[in-house]
Amino acid sequence: MRGDSARVHRSATCSLFPIGHHVTRSIASDKPRALRLLSLRAPLDLLFLACCVILTIDVLGPEIFGHGKTKDYALWYWAGQQVLHGGPLYPSDIHQQFEFIYPPLPAILLAIPSWFGKIPLYLVLSVLNAVAWWYTGIISNAMTGSDRRPGPWLEALPAFATVTFVFDMFDLGQPNLVLLAMMLYGFWSLRYRRFWLAGFMFALATAIKVFPIAVLPYLAWRRQWATMVSMIAFIGILLYVVPAPIRGFERNAAELDTWYQGMVGSSSEKGFGQRDEQNWSWVNQSIIAVTHRLVRPINYNLDDPSKPPRTMNVIDVDYKTANWIVLAVSVLLGLGFIAVMPSANRRTPRSDAEELGILFCLMTVASPLARQYYFMWLFLPFTVLMHRAAFDMRPKVRLGTWLSLGAAGILMLLSLPPFPHAFQAWGNNLAATAILAVSLAWHMRHPPVAASSDAAAGLKPHPS
């Protein structure tokens, strides 16, 4: 018992976000333990590998035996080829529709495998998704703050709960799963005081797809200055310095300006971000989109002109007023997050995990565009709550947590094809995210009573 208590105490003193510089030598010199590798002797690991093979076949099969893989894969190949042949990535007129809506850096990264052809490119993207899926699960389970090693079924349960999103990642070729793994590894690095590595991972995710930049205010609130400086510096390097030798300094700067004007600076009542018909429609479940649909008479079938117009607004205000409502909702959510966050001297590994889970919920829905596959980022909140449901010492809390997870899961199932799009227009995934965030906040404010020496050690605040 004494050894177990000491082990829990050591875990408790290793903060996810270290505070101050008064850290003992043993803690400061700790190296991250090796994250678990795939085992060919573990049945569930073999099931994971089989799923990755099947999903990769879904990507490569149409290209090898059919008429070519559709969705975003052809666009990635085009972007890579544009870089290889020195072609433009964006039209000169920002009022024209952009085919490639990402900053120049992703196109440069895509150019390397694109040089070998479509099949090598698609294979590389599939392997990246598989590796990201694996380490998303491993890191999430390691960062729950429960100090309990999950059994194989509990470890795999978050992957089962989000498998439809993973299918979208492979099928569409979207990078959100890879970005999630990058962000998780960034926080994993921050846990071991690797501030500059954490900043680099956050910056790389932001330079590929901008919405992870929402982590910056959080880092500022937790006074992670070194990580903030690292992130900002690496964003500049990745956006301006890295592409310059390939595209030229002036051309790269001009393309960045074009991208910014077309994607960030082009918001209007008709839409934003080059995809007007999608951004106000049912496919977008961000706070911005759902709020506008609730307060303005917007046709949520805009993405499909063949369908009759449908609106869902409960009040009718103009575009400017709707934006003020969005701002008010966002401020209230931010203030609510700050209100439930424990002070520095009351933080524990457990509360850090719950806090991070809420952060990932907010980053998901705060993005201006939150399509179905964006909710892959709920992997960490699901994992943390599943650990609470399995390991909390209070039976009623375990039951309530399972019920919350079940309610969120049922809401997310309403996005499946048999159900009408109206459920997504009303924000079924947004509502599921709210349930997860509120559950995490409740756990953060109501930790288990330290009834034993082990619990007392596990709940001990971090040293200041």
Task: Indicate whether 332 pLDDT > 50.
Answer: yes
Alpha helices in 66-117 (DSSP H): 73-84, 104-114
Q: What is the pLDDT of residue 450?
A: 53
Q: What is the pLDDT of residue 21?
A: 36
Q: What is the pLDDT of residue 32?
A: 45
Q: What is the pLDDT of residue 463?
A: 42
Cα 313 to Cα 298: distance, rounded to the nearest angstrom: 7
pLDDT bracket for residue 17 (50, 70, 90): low
Q: What is the pLDDT of residue 273?
A: 60
Task: Indicate whether 115 pLDDT > 60.
Answer: yes
Cα 118 to Cα 113: distance, rounded to the nearest angstrom: 8
Task: Indicate whether 237 pLDDT > 60.
Answer: yes
Q: Which residues of 117-152 are buried (b: 16+ CB within 10 A; e: fewer)?
A: ebeebbbbbbebbbebbbbbbbbbbbbbbbbeebee
- 271 pairs with which residues across the strands? 268
Task: Indicate whether 4 pLDDT > 60.
Answer: no
Q: What is the pLDDT of residue 15?
A: 53
Give per-residue pLDDT as tens, 128-161: 999 999 999 999 999 999 878 888 899 999 999 9
Percent of the chain having pLDDT more than 90?
68
Q: What share of the chain is helix, strand, coil (3-state, %, to 5)?
A: 65, 0, 35
Q: What is the pLDDT of residue 271?
A: 63
Q: Residue range 304-315: average pLDDT?
A: 89
* Other beta carbons within 10 Å of 237: 13
pLDDT bracket for residue 22 (50, 70, 90): very low
* pTM, rounded to two decimals: 0.88
Q: Which residue has the higher pLDDT, 244 or 18?
A: 244
Return the minimum-mean-pLDDT range out of 19-23, 52-56, 91-95, 423-427. 19-23
Q: Residue range 396-409: average pLDDT?
A: 96
> CB within 8 A of 90, min separation 6: which ones?
98, 100, 255, 258, 259, 262
